[in-house]
Amino acid sequence: MTQPFDPELAIDAYLDGELDAEQEAALRAWLAEDPQRGARMLAERSLLHSRLARMHAQAAPADPATPTGRGTLLHSAAHFFTRRTPLSITVAALVIGLLITAMAFIAAPIYRHLAGPGREPGKFAPPVIVAELSGVHEAVWGEGQIGSHRGAQLPAGHSLHLNEGIVEVTLSSGAVLVIEAPAVVRIDGPNRCSLETGQLVARVPAAAIGFSIATPNCEVVDLGTEFGVDVTGERSGVQVFEGSVALVPGSGPSAPSQRRVLVAGEAVLVDQSGLVEPAKLTDMQSFRRHIPAAPQWVDVTPEFVGKENCSRVLYTGIGRATEIASLHVYDAAVGSRNGNQYVWLDLSASLPQLPPERIERVLLRWDGVVVPQVVPTHGSKGGVQAELGVFTVPDGRRGIPTVFARADGKNNVNFYAAHESDVIDAVTVPAVSEDRRILASWDITKLVQHWIDNPEAPHRGQLVLINRQHPVWVQWDGTPRVLARIRPHEESDAKASDESEPPRQAAPQDDLKH
């Protein structure tokens, strides 16, 4: 590396844990040159780095994905940037935008790639966004894919190289493509794309009639419909599920005579010469017409029994959750953020009918100011279950303390309490089991009492029980409400070739009505 040593860059790389051996040696030498100067810069940047890490680490759990749209918590700044929010689309776009702008001079090739083929290098013109990557399911992208996350804005000419998984692209015309890997699809314009290889299903609303898909040997023009196209080797298959399409074979010798309209239930194969043959549905690829459903919020709201008895509410809620969604709670904790109360539950011991990987989150929403009190009790499954108690903050208190709990990798669980982002107290308790999920005993009441006894101490923050594998949480805010975020069964996702209706991606509101 012949680049001159940049101490700021090196210190940042060091703080980010990304220093290579060469940079490390250079940084050591630079620090040794003038330790005082080095220490000042390091202290300043480390403070910035640790503050940013703390601020964002705090923000990260508040990601309840707006289950109802009316919770005030859900408008919190933390929520603002999480990837599941609609805003993330903007953020994603902004990030891409940033990269375009900031790196146009450092990394012009990126821009050229992003802008797609046909643009002259060095000519800076804003890309025309014609589509959005509206859904991503277990996608593995080909190398060099840009903006290949959900919410990514796709410019005209952008090619998607999908190696695994299934994604949904919504064109600005309103046409929706469900693309199943392996596939290469180029977004040509707001109402047009090319399928180079692989398969996709297009759902075209009335507004987007005229949407067309080009394959290497034919063009399919939508006449208001839903249809599937697959390209395998030199053959294209077209299957119409609803409505009709116009099929225009390519330039092969048989092509001109082969133009036709296909209606629902029809399927054809087009070969290289442009010859169109009717196909049996059984010969066709099985098309996926919908991206697998996103995790759903299932309402498991318990009966409201009054804020003096949140533990009963919670327990009723957990009971209901158990009943509805087979949630089994091992560890739990309560706390608040920005004046909203949280209960964290470890559902890692859930029964097989609802494996933890299917539960994303449990959300309990509640009105009223409470202070957490967590008392452990022995669970019937041989481990220890946390019993949640909550007591009201006396008048004049300024909110809720924060208590974090973390397994430290040495069979201990550390609890530490904090005000906003700052740790102000800590206890360490031993865990009995090697998996560090089951706690022998832990009692944060002392910590809580601490704030009760010291009214002048700040009382605001959150309490979190972190199980790194299955962080599941419950949260109080506004109307009491318990929501469990459950991943739908994969097998319930239907292929289009099945008779069954694929699962609708449920709007959370619908789920709340149960």
Partner 1 sequence: MSTPPQNTDSPGYAARLWMDAQPSVLSFICAAIPRFHDAEDVLQEVAVDVAENFSQYDRDRPFVAWAIGIARFKIAAYYRSRGREQCLLDESVLEHVGQAHVTQHDHLGEMRQALEDCLERLAPKARSLVQMRYADDLRSPELAERLGSTSGSIRVTLTRIRNQLLDCIRGKLAQGAAS
Farthest-apart Cα atoms in the chain, separation: 90
What are the residues facing 219 on neighbouring strands?
A: 214, 248
Distance CA 239, CA 200 (A): 11
Q: Which two tokens stand for residue 512?
A: 């709340």
Binders in 392-411 for partner 1, by CB under 8 A: 406, 408-409
Binding region for partner 1 (CB under 8 A) out of 44-52, 126-134, 290-298, 345-353: 44-52
Which residue type, as a one-letter code, is found at position 239?
Answer: Q
Per rule CB under 8 A, is residue 89 in the interface with partner 1? no
Among 19, 209, 279, 375, binds partner 1 (CB under 8 A): 19
Distance CA 442, CA 387 (A): 11
Among 106, 118, 501, 504, binds partner 1 (CB under 8 A): 106
Binding region for partner 1 (CB under 8 A) out of 96-104, 132-140, 362-370, 473-481: 96-104
Least distance from partner 1 to the Cβ atom of residue 80, Å = 9
Binders in 442-501 for partner 1, by CB under 8 A: 450, 453-454, 456-458
Q: Which two tokens stand for residue 365?
A: 């929403």
Least distance from partner 1 to the Cβ atom of residue 408, Å = 5
Q: Which is nearer to partner 1, 109 or 278 (CB)?
A: 109
Binders in 412-451 for partner 1, by CB under 8 A: 414, 416, 418-419, 421-428, 450
Distance CA 339, CA 251 (A): 67
Binders in 128-167 for partner 1, by CB under 8 A: 144-149
What are the residues facing 158 on neighbouring strands?
A: 187
| DSSP 8-state symbol, 446 | H
Phi and psi (nearest 5°) for 54?
-65, -45
Distance CA 389, CA 104 (A): 56
Binding region for partner 1 (CB under 8 A) out of 13-21, 240-248, 252-260, 313-321: 13-21
Q: Which is nearer to partner 1, 74 or 218 (CB)?
A: 74
Among 84, 89, 91, 375, binds partner 1 (CB under 8 A): 91
Site string for partner 1, 58-87 (x = CB under 8 A): -xx--------------------xxx----
Which residue type, as a one-letter code, is found at position 373?
Answer: Q
Phi and psi (nearest 5°) for 201?
-120, 135
What is the length of the chain?
Answer: 514
Binding region for partner 1 (CB under 8 A) out of 40-48, 269-277, 350-358, 486-494: 40-48
Contact 387, 380 (CB under 8 A): no
| Number of residues counted as binding partner 1 (CB under 8 A) | 84
196, exposed or middle or buried, with CB in 10 Å at 0-12, 13-18, 19+? middle
Task: Using DSSP, state whether 198 is helix, strand or coil.
Answer: strand
Least distance from partner 1 to the Cβ atom of residue 77, Å = 10
Q: Which is nearer to partner 1, 24 or 357 (CB)?
A: 24
Q: Which is nearer to partner 1, 450 or 495 (CB)?
A: 450
